Each structure stands twice: as structure tokens, then as C-alpha cells.
Structure 1
Amino acid sequence: MPIVDPRTGAPLTSSESQSSQGESIDPSRYIVDVDMSNFQQMVLEGSLEIPVVLDCWAPWCEPCKNLMPILEKLAMEYAGAFVLAKLNIEDNQQIAAQLGIRSVPDVKLIMQGQLYDQFQGALPERQIREWLAKYLEAPAEASASPEEQAEAALAAGDAATAKAIYQELIQAYPDYPDYQIGLASALVGEGQGDQAREILDNLPPEHRDGAKARGVRARIEFGEEAPGREELAALEGRDDSEARFKRALRQVADGDYENGLEGLLALLRQDRGYGDDIARKTLLRVFDALGADHPLTVAYRRKLFALLY
């Protein structure tokens, strides 16, 4: 299937197509604004050559603002497997009426001049990937994406590298909240909890209160609550409930989640009444910090359930 240039509708040459796979990708190759002047050419005629994902949005639509950066990111990642055409329905009400748009965001897949599929609302990125995968070949994964590199750096304790990557991603996609949350997470890793909290506080409400942001907030709080090195040294040799709890809290704050979770579970097993059931409550907070799908959350939820019931 030939790759077309969405600016002109003309097929890319072989050299142009190959260069689009390099590090520096021109977004205008794969992302285009459409209106009455180019809708026929870009969407209807263009879809005869390459699938078109039509994103119908409006300036007043908050979910649209959350969805668009995800679609733009995927358009760049797919690098020519589809063109993302963005239609502002406020400025193009005639087209919106012809398309039967009743609410936004409304995303349509146009292939061979026909509507193949559509969805309404701001779906999570995972579901959009699944939706695209039904019709389009997924991009080759020759190397890890910048986001994956940042996550790997954080997992390895290299917060500085993760911060640098997220800062570059935010420059390219300033309206994508997950990158803001990623930067906040990296700042926590550098011990800059106040700056991380400020970033989280400025997120749109649906992201500020979402699971990812809550997880980063929990890490900030763990860092503030955990004993410092001097206090930790003073606990050396003690094996009472207070010492066990504080050591586990320090491990969690340092990102040593597995040992921290194991310590909290052991404390819960030995002295559930300590601190008004604080070991169990802290376990739940760690699950929140890690996220529901994290392998440690899944494993230790099971252990906690087995212990309690």
C-alpha cells in the first residue's frame, strides 16, 4: 500500500518513505487538518490510497483535548500506515452535519472511501491500539519507544535520564497528560517531591485524580513519611513492630517495592493491630502507587487476601 503525503495527497517517493522511519519525523506527513477546501481530497479520495482516521473534535470539548494527543502519537508511531485527519466541527458544521456528528469526540476509520468503523468518546490508548489493530498492521518494534525508555530508566533507578526523556516528550506533545505524570514520577525519583506535586496539581481534573497521578502522589507521601538515614540507623538491631514498619516504609520510598511489601505483609501477619492496622492500609497505598496491573500488586493482593480471609 503506497504512503501518501497528507499535505498534497501525492504518494511519497521511496526515499521519502524511508526517511520517514528515521529519528526526525515531520508530523505533517501523517497528520493534517481538514475543512471544506480539502476534505474530499484528503479523506474521501485519500482513503483510496491509505486508511484515514478522522478525528471530529471541538475547541470546547475537554475529552477531545485528551484524545487528540494520543491519536497524534499513534499516527507518528504508525509512520504512514494511516493518516490522521482532524476536523473541527465548530468551523465545519456542514461537514459535521453530513457525517451525522451528534457528539464529540467522534473518531471514524475511512478506507476505500467508505466508513469501516468508528468510536465515540476519549478511549484509553490501549483500547485505541486494539481498535486500530483490527484493521491495520501494527508498526514494527525495532527499538523501544521514548516512553518505554523512560519507564525502563525509572525502573533502573535512573531518574535523571527518565526526566530528560519526559521533558523532550512534553515539548513534542505538551497536551498529553501521561507525559506530565511521567515527569512528576521522575522528579520524585530525584527527591523533588514539591515540584512533582505542583505538576500533578496543574493537571486536568480527570487526570489529576486518576490512578496514575494518585500513584505518584503516594510515592511523594511515602518519601515524606519514611524515616531518614539517621533514624533508620537508630533502628538497627530492633525487631519490634515499629522498627519493622519503618524499615518497610523506607524500602517502599526508595522504590524497593518487593521487599517493602514483604515486610508489611510479615508485620500484618505478626501484629495486625499495630498502628490501627497501618500495615494493611499501607499495603493498599502501595498497590495504588504501583497501579492495579503491576505484577507486584497482583501477587501481593492475592497474598493479602489469603492472609485476611
Structure 2
Amino acid sequence: MQSPFIVELNEQNFRQVLEGSMQTPVLVHFWAPISQESAQVIPDLQMLAQQYNGAFTLALLNCEQEQMIASQFGVQAIPTIALFINGQAVDGMGGPQAIETIKEMLTKHLPSQDEMILKQASELIQSGEHAQALPLLEGLDNTVKQKGDVKLALASCYLETQKFDQAKALLEHIPLEYQDNLYKGLIAKLELHAQAANSPEIQSLEASLSQAPEDADIANKLALAYHQVNRDEEALELLWSYLKTNLNALDGEVKKSFMDILAALGQGNPIAGKYRRQLYSILY
């Protein structure tokens, strides 16, 4: 498996790899083709290294090919696992081990996967890559997502990706000790959006439509104004109220606006999915 987190140990690189444990822990797996159990666990170890995404380096030592190195380490049994941190062996196990047992050993010495994901997401947020950070944060365990700092990070991502309702729901439940300058800044952004989402233009169109509810032209303009400020569900519901009785409302303009908003929301959006199904129900 090609990976920057997995290396094959040999006489040329083993000192360099172990010196690397000064920066990143190194898990050495001593194995040999003659030992089926030592070979069988390698794919699981490789998968583990990928999941930890650089929190440790997996170093594989074929003891048949590299007998001199194996003897320097004083390996008594195959397989043997040894964890090196800061150039020193800090933990290890001899004999066949279940991958879960190896995970438990790593957990004692390495950051949890949730902590690593949080770190990665924080780095993305600092780089302004909120859309990339969002799925990482959403994939965290629910207990982790209840923490105040994680809620703030999620709210920041929701605001930057224009998911204002989700941001509002989170910011309403931030513990007092986390209501710092970051929190206040996010609240200010949310309030600015709320003001824009209920602009004088929208209020004027709403008033006009209430006076002439049958006017599809006003409704179409209002729906497009809603869409501009991410009030997409209201926009689609308004357009749908005309389309369900007349698919050719406003000479097809209402349907065009409806389809444009669906396209802008994309295939995976649940709101778009709901209204797409409703449209199909009367088309077919």
C-alpha cells in the first residue's frame, strides 16, 4: 500500500525512520513470511495507519530479509509490535495480537481520532476552507459535537456555507463560558444575514402579494428574492403553490424559476429532493 505513513524498514533507512519518532511516533511491526499470523495482520495495520492519517508512522520490518536489524532490536518472537516515541521504545507486544488490542495500545499514547479530526478541521477553518472542514466536524461522535468549542466551529462552517438555520440552532445553545469574541462575531454575522433576508424589497413584495395573491408575477419575483438570501424552502413552497394547479404559470417562467432553484441547491439537498419529488408526481 503506497502511503506516506507506511514504510518498509531496511538497513538504509531504519535509523532515519527511528529518528523520525522524535516528531511522529513510529509503530514497528516485526514480521516474517514464514509466520502466517504476522503477515495476516499487515493489511489491518496499514488500514489503521491510514485512519490515523499521520498520527503515527507504520514501519514494517521483514525479519527474514533484515536479520541484522531484527537482532539489533533483540526480537524474541514473531510477530512483535514496538511503539517508538522520541527515539525510545515506550510500549510493545510480542506474539499474535488482535488489531483491537493494538488499537488499545495506541490509544494510550496517541491523540484520539476525534482529536485528530478536530485538529484537521481547525486548520482548514483557519485557512478559510470551511466547506472542507464541515463534513469532518459533522462526522464526529455526537458526544464530541456537544462541546462548546466544537459547536462554535460547526456554527462558523454553517455560516460560511450559508446554512443559516443550522448555525442559528447551534448558537442558541452555546454554554456561557464559550460566549467569547468568536461567539459574538458569529452572532453578528447571523444578525446581518437576518436583516438581509428580510430586506425592504422582500417586505414590499410580500405586501404586494398579500394584496394580489393570484399575481404569479409578484410571486415569482418574491421567490427569486427569497432565493437570493438563501430562503430557498420558502421560495420553492411559494412557486409550488402556483405550479401544482398550473404547470405553465406565467408562460412557464414560474416553472423555470422553480427548476433553477432546484439546480442551484444540487442533487444531495433534502429540500430540493422534496420539491423535485412533488414536481415529478404531477409530471408522470
Instruction: Give the TM-score normalised by structure 2.
Output: 0.39
Higher helix share goes to which structure? 2
Instruction: Give the TM-score normalised by structure 1.
Output: 0.37
Which has more radius of gyration? Answer: 2
